[in-house]
């Protein structure tokens, strides 16, 4: 297998290069057929046309931080991180930015901050998460509760279609209509979507965040094709350049730590806080607190009541110190009848100390032994806020029933819960128990009126849940939409639609894991432990 001589980037089919791209940040290990690292836009277009002629699947990839398996696959992995020119332009006069897809969100916001601006949705992986990957998953973060996910901040996208054509799609109806994929969409998919608009509005759950399936509801509200590409996980085309809307950075901010002794109080506490317009409301469950306390050799964390079943970390941002003090005071009064303890942080130093608890688990999880591995399986459910406490209790109970340890945290303001499952790989039945937990918790998400993914997308992990969530008619629409942009099914097959296997399979751990060269396996594990996702994987192959 070889590319035309005009291709100037790297194209590798050797075992070491393929092994280096077999894993991302999630649970999967799938060795691709080849790895391509295009040098620029012309290279990418040439690659897509070559793949179309050979019917070779292409898997788009940035830094590899996606948790759902959308960045690994059986075809040719396309690493977009080296594409030139690398663009990072801030336009403060109209509060916009223009970036290439391989720029990180940290780079964007660091550059924008010099002008008093930012792109508010910022995940915890800000240092290495590429902006193209963030668009592909409709990524979010702690501040989504006030500012929304990535979708509304995307003004325009430069794309390379499955036909190998290059064009822009823009908000407000602007698009390069000569592109064949857009013509097919206007002719085939758009009428089908509008024909069942009432069904779409009925079937899409009333939750604050939804990254499950294609955003047909957002498209109906806006009419912008941009909204369909955001969250499409590389299945509709390659994203190469992005125009962003930016927002002024509020000058005044403060935080609170609220301890709750009863999970049932979450259903009252979170709505009360939301009425005060916070910029973040984060949840640290008892399981999270116990992990941190145990790692520090304590039975409880200093300052946190031993009786606390959950901690809420709350951030307020305002335009003045006076307005900020008013918001903090209102929050303290609102939480008084519900909380067993409230701590305020008004100075930057106090805020930093308070938020340090939110980040305390990461090095602990990274340092787990090879026997006990952290697995992201039930890691992104989003439910109606009134059902948040019920959902957390379900996760705890379902895990305890199977003798599985879980660490629960997440974005309480959106009722979007993350779970690290700490799996004992020496248990003979661990994979069956993990599969059972996935099924039980997924069913509970649906029963509670939620969605399996709030911000990470479906990938291959949750693709099989979409028909249960939306019904066959909506999934048929997903397929019509996908075929309009990718008639030959070349782009990320098995992602979002038509899953190609059980969700808890083809794992990076366990007896069935595909063998990799020992040094590459160790290098991938070190990336996972250290968060070194910015590293070029070909460096591992060439050591």
pLDDT in tens, 402-457: 999 999 999 999 999 999 999 999 999 999 999 999 999 999 999 999 999 999 99
* Domains defined along the chain, listed by start: 10-83+506-542 (3.30.43.10), 88-248 (3.30.465.10), 252-365 (3.30.70.2190), 368-456 (3.30.70.2740)
Q: How far is CA 76 from the centre of its chain?
A: 22
pLDDT 10s digits, 498-512: 888 899 999 999 999
Among residues of the chain, what percentage have pLDDT more than 70?
99
Read off the pLDDT band of 307 (50, 70, 90).
Answer: very high
Sign of the dihedral through C-alpha 325, 331, 337, 342: negative
Q: Encode burial over 138-155: b for 16+ CB neighbours within 10 A, e otherwise.
A: bbbbbbbbbbbbbbbbbb
Phi, psi (deg, nearest 5) at residue 358: -60, -35
What pLDDT does residue 177 have?
56
Tell me the average pLDDT of the chain.
94
pLDDT 10s digits, 352-394: 999 988 888 888 887 888 888 999 999 999 999 999 999 999 9
What pLDDT does residue 214 have?
98
What pLDDT does residue 151 have?
97
What pLDDT does residue 359 have?
84
Compute CA distances 61 → 24, 244, 470, 473, 539, whole Å: 9, 21, 28, 30, 16
Of the candidates 428, 309, 409, 315, the one whose C-alpha atom is nearest the C-alpha of residue 364 is 409
Q: How many CB atoms lie within 10 A of CB 2?
A: 9
CB 241 within 8 A of CB 310: no
pLDDT 10s digits, 55-102: 999 999 999 999 999 999 999 999 999 999 999 999 999 999 999 999
Contact residues for 364 (Cβ-Cβ < 8 A; gap 6+): 291, 292, 295
Instruction: Check pLDDT > 80 for residue 1.
Output: no
Calculate ∠ Cα 248-222-442, nearest 5°. Answer: 90
Compute CA distances 24 → 134, 339, 413, whole Å: 15, 40, 28
Of the candidates 76, 47, 80, 75, the one whose C-alpha atom is nearest the C-alpha of residue 63 is 80
Q: Which helix (H) or strand (E) holds 416?
A: strand 416-424
Measured N-to-C along each axis, helices 388-401 and 266-274 cross at an angle, to the nearest 10 degrees, of 140
Read off the pLDDT band of 174 (50, 70, 90).
Answer: low
Task: Supply 221's token pair.
Answer: 């509200």
What pLDDT does residue 2 have?
76
CB 279 within 8 A of CB 198: no
What pLDDT does residue 175 have?
54
pLDDT 10s digits, 120-155: 998 888 888 999 999 999 999 899 999 999 999 999
Of the candidates 354, 356, 465, 372, the one whose C-alpha atom is nearest the C-alpha of residue 427 is 372
Task: Supply 334's token pair.
Answer: 């609102």
Q: Please give the DSSP secondary-structure letter assigned to residue 426.
A: T
Instruction: Please tell me the pTM assigned to this model.
Output: 0.95
CB 310 within 8 A of CB 285: yes
Instruction: Check pLDDT > 80 for residue 171.
Output: yes
What pLDDT does residue 441 have?
98
Q: Please give the DSSP secondary-structure letter assigned to residue 250.
A: P
Task: Supply 263's token pair.
Answer: 């999970």
Contact residues for 493 (Cβ-Cβ < 8 A; gap 6+): 57, 73, 75, 500
Q: How far apart are the first and last CA of the chain?
A: 24
What pLDDT does residue 391 have?
97
d(CA 93, CA 104): 22
Of the candidates 219, 210, 241, 122, the one whose C-alpha atom is nearest the C-alpha of residue 173 is 219
Of the candidates 457, 479, 420, 455, the one whose C-alpha atom is nearest the C-alpha of residue 27 is 420
Task: Supply 88's token pair.
Answer: 């990072």
Q: Where are the beta strands (DSSP E) in 247-309?
A: 247-248, 252-260, 280-285
């Amino acid at each position: 297998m070889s590319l035309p001589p005009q291709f100037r980037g790297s194209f590798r089919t050797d075992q070491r290069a393929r092994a280096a791209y077999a894993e991302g940040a999630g649970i999967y290990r799938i060795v691709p057929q080849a790895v391509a690292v295009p040098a620029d836009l012309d290279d990418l277009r040439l690659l897509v046309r070559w793949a179309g002629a050979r019917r070779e699947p292409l898997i788009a990839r940035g830094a590899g931080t996606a948790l759902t398996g959308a960045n690994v696959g059986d075809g040719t992995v396309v690493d977009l991180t080296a594409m030139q020119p690398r663009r990072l332009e801030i336009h403060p006069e109209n509060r916009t930015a223009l970036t290439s897809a391989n720029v990180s969100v940290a780079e964007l916001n660091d550059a924008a901050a010099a002008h008093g601006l930012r792109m508010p949705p910022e995940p915890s992986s800000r240092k290495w998460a590429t902006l193209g990957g963030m668009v592909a998953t409709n990524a979010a973060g702690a501040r989504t509760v006030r500012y929304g996910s990535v979708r509304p901040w995307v003004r325009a996208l430069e794309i390379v279609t499955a036909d190998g054509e290059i064009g822009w799609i823009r908000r407000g109806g602007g698009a390069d209509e000569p592109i064949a994929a857009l013509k097919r969409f206007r002719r085939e998919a758009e009428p089908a979507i509008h024909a069942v608009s009432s069904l779409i509005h009925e079937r899409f759950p009333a939750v604050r965040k939804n990254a499950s399936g294609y955003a047909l509801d957002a498209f109906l509200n806006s009419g912008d094709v941009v909204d369909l590409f955001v969250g499409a996980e590389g299945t509709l085309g390659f994203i190469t350049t992005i125009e962003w809307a930016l927002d002024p950075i509020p000058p005044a901010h403060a935080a609170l730590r609220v301890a709750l002794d009863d999970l049932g109080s979450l259903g009252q506490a979170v709505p009360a806080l939301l009425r005060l317009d916070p910029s973040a409301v984060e949840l640290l469950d008892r399981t999270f607190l116990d992990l941190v306390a145990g790692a520090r050799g304590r039975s409880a964390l200093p300052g946190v009541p031993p009786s606390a079943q959950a901690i809420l970390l709350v951030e307020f941002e305002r335009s003045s110190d006076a307005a900020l003090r008013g918001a903090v005071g209102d929050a303290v009064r609102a939480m008084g009848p519900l909380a067993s303890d409230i701590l305020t942080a008004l100075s930057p130093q106090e805020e930093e100390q308070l938020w340090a608890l939110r980040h305390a688990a990461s090095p602990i999880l990274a340092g787990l032994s090879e026997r006990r591995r952290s697995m992201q399986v039930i890691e992104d459910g989003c439910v109606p806020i009134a059902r948040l406490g019920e959902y957390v209790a379900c996760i705890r109970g379902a895990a305890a029933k199977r003798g599985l340890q879980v660490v629960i945290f997440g974005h309480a303001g959106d009722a979007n819960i993350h779970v690290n499952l700490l799996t004992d790989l020496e248990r003979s039945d661990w994979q069956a128990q993990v599969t059972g937990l996935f099924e039980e918790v997924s069913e509970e998400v649906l029963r509670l009126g939620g969605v399996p993914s709030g911000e990470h997308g479906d990938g291959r992990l949750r693709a099989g849940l979409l028909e249960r969530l939306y019904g066959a008619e909506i999934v048929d629409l997903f397929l019509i939409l996908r075929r309009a942009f990718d008639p030959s099914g070349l782009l990320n097959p098995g992602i979002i639609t038509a899953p190609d296997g059980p969700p808890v399979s083809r794992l990076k751990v366990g007896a069935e894991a595909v063998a990799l060269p020992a040094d590459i396996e160790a290098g991938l594990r070190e990336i996972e432990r250290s968060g070194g996702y910015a590293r070029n994987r070909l460096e591992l192959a060439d050591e």
